[in-house]
Structure 1
Amino acid sequence: ETYIAASQRADGTWRKARRVKDGYIPQEEQPKYESRGQQMSNQNTYPVGWSPTEVVKLKKKTKEQELKKPIAAALKPNAPITPRECIEKKINNLNKKLRDIEVLEQRIRNGELKNPEKTQLEKIERKEIIAKEIDQLTTEIEKL
């Protein structure tokens, strides 16, 4: 017969020594149960014969390549680079808003929209402001 020696608990009190059967493994020392899925996920994920050092080398190479990439504006093909392109993009956006407002007005005139919402009416009221802003931006482009 074997004994588990007396031990001190976290709160300072003592546990008595316990007599146990041969082959007994205490709860804390038993390996934790792992399902098949956990066991499979803990296995190596790279192909047979491929060492982890090669994986680390490849990761370093990809990080270096990312650092060598150009600036953010060059990554986006439609990003405005010059001030002129930036202004043109704003004008295009404002023209799109004007078209939306005109479509909304047309729907109200045709009777498709009998009770326009408050936000739709506010959008129609902003038509003049947007038109003025487009005029300002076009004069700004002419100056460039």
Structure 2
Amino acid sequence: MSIPPVSGIRESQSGDRVVPATRRPDGSVRKERKVRPGYVPQEDVSRYTNAKVETTRVPEGYVPGIGVVQSSESSSVSSKSARKNAKRRAKKTCEKDQQDGTAEKVTTSPDSKALPDAQATTQAAAPVDIEKKLKNLRKKLRQVEELKEKQAKGENLIQEQRDKLAGKKDLEKEIAELEQSLKGLHV
């Protein structure tokens, strides 16, 4: 026995699909209505579910928290790529162990040509980094000044803003230090 559709459509004796006759509240009878072949009423259309939701749906009667006990067979059976990855990991750990034992003997001699190039790039990049940091700190100092003006006008400040005001001296000190280091680099 199948579950009758929500819409109430049934198959008549002649094989046609019909909405059966019903009785109105006043006692009169609505006559039977034919339904065109292939028509599915809105009530009978099942709700859309995508494949991913279907695969993740838990079975009826499943109790959360009670895990399924995995057999030892399922843990030993793994995909081809999983086995390759496991081999790679094992190989890496073996190589690290071997290198740890011989690392004390290996010494590296710095290239005399590579050293000046590295120093030149760090010296060229240092003023740019310091200038960026200075710009950022000056911006923070401006924000502190604006907060100070707000406080002078009588506006209430939140805790974060009061903390910012308290750190004004530190900002000024850091700006002065960075300006000194920048002057030292330009000389």
Q: TM-score, normalised to structure 2's length?
A: 0.34
Question: Whose relative contact order is higher, 1 or 2, with alpha carbons under 8 Å and at least 6 apart?
Answer: 1
Larger Rg: 2
TM value normalised by structure 1: 0.41
